[in-house]
Amino acid sequence: MPLFDTFPSLQRARTRLFLHELMEVIIIIVWLLISTTAGKTTLISSSYSLCISNVPCKCRRDIENRLIVDCSKMNLTEIPRMPNDTVFLSLSNNEILVVGNGTFSNLPHLLSLDLSTNSMRKIDRDAFHGLENLRRLDFNRNNVPLTVQGFGQGVFRSLKNLCYLSIQNVNVKTDNASYPHQIFADIISLTTLKIDGMPNAIFGPGFLELHNLRMLKLSSEKCNIESLFNNTFVYLPFLTDLDISSCSIHRIEPGALIPLRHLQYLDISNNAALGFDGLRNASFGLINGSITILKANRLYPTFHLSVQLNSKHVEFLNQTNIKEMYLDENQIELVESDWGNVCPKSMEKLSVAGNKFTFGLYIFQGYNCKSLKILNGGYQHPTRMPFSITSEAQYVQKHIEECPFIANLESYNYDANGAKCTNNNMEHIWDLLSYCNISSNHYLNSMPPAKQSTSLPQFYGKDENINNTNASDIKTDFSGKVFPIIVPPTMEEFHFQFADLRYEIPEINFRNSSLTFINVSGNSFYKLVGPLVGLEKLKTLDISDNLCSYVSDRFLENVNKLESLFLVNNLLGLTLAKDSDGKILGKLTNLRTLVLSNNQITSLPFQIFSGLHSLEYLDISRNYLQTFNIRMDHMNISHLNVRRNILSSLPANIRNQLTAQANIKNVTVDLTDNPFKCDCSTLEFIKWVYDEKSRVTFIGFDSYTCNVNDNEQSFTNLDNLILGLEKKCANYTVAIWILSISFVLFVVVLTAGVIYRYRWKLRYMYYVTKRRYRGYNGLYESDRENYQFDAFLSYADNNMRFVKFTLLPKVETEGLHLCIHHRDFLPGEEIAANIANAIHRSRKTVVLLDDDFLSSYWCMYELNMARMESVYSRKGENILILLLKEGIDKSKLPLELLDLIHKNTYIELPEDLVHVNMSDICSRLRETIID
């Protein structure tokens, strides 16, 4: 029989408990049903809600429907009961003093617990009971002592699946000789442990149970290790990552890291009392280990005197498989010239940024680092903010008297008997050496003073003088013109930004280079002459922030594989403005990104980028461009940045190219902070922006404005703006067109009228000029014996029979010599010329006037030429003799001819010429012509 059947009260209690749990299940099911009907989004909410009675904790569910409870910053002094399905719980930044037994026993699904920044002084032994699935526990910034008494042995025994534990910035007992290894031995699944570094403490046998522990971080605000001994890490053989940076380490015994055979990552940075001798001791323990990344930054005080890196400091690393090494901000000025002989053969990345390097032959030793791919030497000679040393000067002097230094730098904080100097501020002593007037010869091995050069040393110009296999054999000569840079054949990236380099770049030869990335921004390469040789694989070049004002046509001619070029913050405006043929960038056919922002550019030639057939990203922002009219039809432009110029619009060819590109891909244009104009001259540009804003992405479009009658108007209301401009500009356009057409018509009509009015005069003057050009002169009455003919007879062809057989024989028998066109015109001469010459060579012109004459073009031409002859060549003498035929239709007579008839006597002929009295006519003609 079951036990509870013999105890009725116990049976009733179990029944009530069962009913209570059943009710909770029903409530949860009903809640889920209601949430489902209301929409599944209520299960996965990004907003917080209250989920705990009487406590304003915030609750929400993540995308996987896991409950997240945030009770941080609630001024809690006790831990409230949480919902059973809580997965992530934060109780940080409260005033909780104690974690009692069974506090979290109802949270079997809890994965993450944050108890940081409280005032905890006690954790009961069964505080974490029920948290078998907990993965992460954060216990930082509490007052529980890091001792067995503080945490209690077995306190972590329930955390069978805990992977991450952080207990930093807690109450560390400085008199402890070891960590409380007994309390950690139960966390067999632990992979990451963050704990405060204690002075001279070791990790005890209990840590040997942590077979999964891979990462140990001792670096924290309270880390103060002082010394690492040979037995410090004996029981941590499985570590792969160790961070002991910023731990005030003064000394590392040579065998301290030997037990860590699987260590891959080591950070000993920010231990200013350690120095490179400490690095040497640390690297000794890494021999034949698994180390791949070593960080040894800032191993000297900030204002330490210059340091020389010797081969002995890194000699043990040559026996490791290290791939990355960081020696940043160590005040290094010189490197021993044969350091390349001990360069780790496996090293792929070396960072020596933030030092004080000066020029020396050691730079050629880098060739011996056969596997080096990335070199970072940027930010040389950095400027630091000095601290106040007034209050510390007396202490330093006093400490020097009490604790004399010995020659070996690595034990400078120990007295002659090996006893540790008591003051904790020893790391400042080396900062203050110059203030205390203490010589540095005891720790620098005759380091020569360095002087910053302003020009690159020159070497033999011929390549055959450079030994490619042994960098130490390089011969120097300051008379050459080619500067060789020998880099490891595997090097791909070269970072020397803000390295305080002040040179004119001559022709430089990178021998056997595989470089794809070079960053020399932030220096003072004020003149780029070049060319750069040996960079056939270079894809990215950054020469920004160099105050460069000149780039030669040859500088980039050999880097035709370049894809990205950055020339930001220079002074290239004048140089680029003169490059009308685009020679500077002409060979960069593979260039995709070009950044020329802030270069004081005021104008760019149309063909400046004519060779950039692959360009996609163009940035010419922060310049002084008033117009931006360049050739772009050959580019694949997808991003154009011309912000912060002084553009009033974009020209049509730029707009058309951007539109064409927008048809095939996404195009982004940044026109921010340009003083656009909204007038008739920019109307097409504004309409283009309006039409293309759905296809072209205009960055900062809502901030675009333009000037309308000295008032700024936003582009957000473009449709009304365009409508107003179209009305305004349309009126001007119509008026201009009407006025222009009217003026042209007026000029044409006026010119035509003048020409028509003076057509005969113009023709006559033409032939007079032509005759004078041929040597003819005018004949006047005094020269009548020089006339070739007595009269020129003008008549219509219908009267030719009368003239030829009746008039001409009778007149010529009277002794007159007449000129008629059928007989006397020169063959091959123009008709008009013959007429003009005949009239000019005849004393008179006789006109046989009838209706046929009036309808003949050439007859009227002869009449008018005779009129012009009398006016302009005969000084107004009337040379016309009219033979007027009866029956002529006088309404057809021109006004000029009517005027002649009315003013001068004429001979009238009968309509029928057969019955004419020729004797009378001939005698009258003779009298008129001869008189």
Alpha-carbon gap, residue 106 to 84, rounded angstroms: 6
* Confidence label for 389 from pLDDT (cuts 50, 70 and 90): very low
With the C-alpha atoms ordered 708, 714, 720, 726, is the resulting torsion angle positive or negative?
A: positive
Please report how many Cα atoms fall inside a 13 Å half-sphere around the Cα of residue 873, on the Cβ side.
Answer: 27
Which distant-in-sequence residues (6+ apart) come within 8 Å of 184 by Cβ? 156, 190, 193, 206, 207, 210
Neighbours of 760 (CB within 10 A): 18
pLDDT tens-digit readout, 254-274: 999 999 999 999 999 999 999
Q: pLDDT value at position 621? A: 95
Tell me whether domains 47-224 and 460-630 share a fold. Answer: yes
- Can you tell me the mean pLDDT for 682-711? 88
Domain ranges in the chain are: 3-38, 47-224, 460-630, 647-757, 783-930
Question: How do residues 718-746 score in pLDDT, each as one tens digit?
Answer: 888 888 888 777 766 667 788 888 889 98
Only one residue has tokens 């041929």, namely: 774
Mean pLDDT of 783-787: 63
pLDDT tens digits along 73-128: 999 998 888 899 999 999 999 999 999 899 999 999 999 999 999 988 888 888 99
pTM metric for this prediction: 0.66
- The arithmetic mean of pLDDT across residues 587-613, rounded, is 94
For residue 668, count CB atoms less than 10 angstroms from its CB and return exposed for 0-12, middle for 13-18, buried for 19 or more. middle
pLDDT at 387 over 70: no
Edge to edge, the sheet with strand 880-885 lists: 818-819, 789-794, 842-849, 880-885, 907-909
Query: Highest-confidence range of 57-71, 372-386, 734-748, 870-884, by mean pLDDT?
Result: 57-71
Q: Is 54 left (phi over 0), alpha (psi -120 to 50) or beta?
A: left
- Residue ranges of E strands in 454-501: 482-486, 493-495
For residues 502 and 51, which has the higher predicted lDDT (pLDDT)?
502
CATH architecture of 460-630: Alpha-Beta Horseshoe (3.80)
The helix/strand/coil state of 659 is: helix
Instruction: Give the pLDDT band of residue 338 (cuts 50, 70, 90).
Output: confident
pLDDT score for 10: 34
Whether residue 443 contacts residue 409, with contact meaning beta carbons closer than 8 Å, is answered with: yes
Please compute the mean of the pLDDT values over residues 478-499 and round it to a whole number: 80
Q: Evaluate if residue 640 carries a pLDDT over 50.
A: yes
What CATH number is given for 783-930 in this structure?
Answer: 3.40.50.10140
CA distance 626 to 610: 21
pLDDT at 171: 80
- pLDDT for 522: 93
pLDDT number for residue 785: 58
Query: What values do phi and psi take at 858, rounded to 5?
Result: -70, -30
Pick from 266, 328, 321, 264: nearest CA to 302:
328
Amino acid at 819: C
Nearest Cα neighbor of 701 from 684, 709, 689 is 689
Check residues 712 and 469 and name the one with the higher pLDDT: 712
Mean pLDDT, residues 747-754 taken together? 86
Most trustworthy range by pLDDT among 213-222, 386-395, 422-431, 768-777: 213-222
Mean pLDDT of the chain: 79
pLDDT (tens digit per residue) in 623-632: 999 999 999 9
Mean pLDDT across the stretch 567-578? 94
pLDDT, tens only, 288-327: 889 999 999 999 988 888 898 988 999 899 899 999 999 9
- Are the CB atoms for 300 and 330 separated by under 8 Å? yes
Q: Is residue 458 pLDDT above 90, yes or no?
A: no
Of residues 170 and 873, the one with the higher pLDDT is: 170
Report the alpha-carbon distance of residue 129 to residue 107 in Å, rounded. Answer: 9
Residue % of the chain over a pLDDT of 70:
80
Per-residue CA distances from 806 to 809, 810, 825, 862, 922 (Å): 6, 6, 20, 22, 11
Decide which of 103 and 484 is more confident. 103
Residue 928: the pLDDT is 78
Is the pLDDT at 698 greater than 70? The verdict is yes
pLDDT per residue over 815-866, tens digit each?
A: 788 888 888 888 888 888 888 888 888 888 888 888 888 888 888 888 888 8
CA distance 379 to 356: 9
The superfamily CATH assigns to domain 47-224 is Ribonuclease Inhibitor (3.80.10.10)
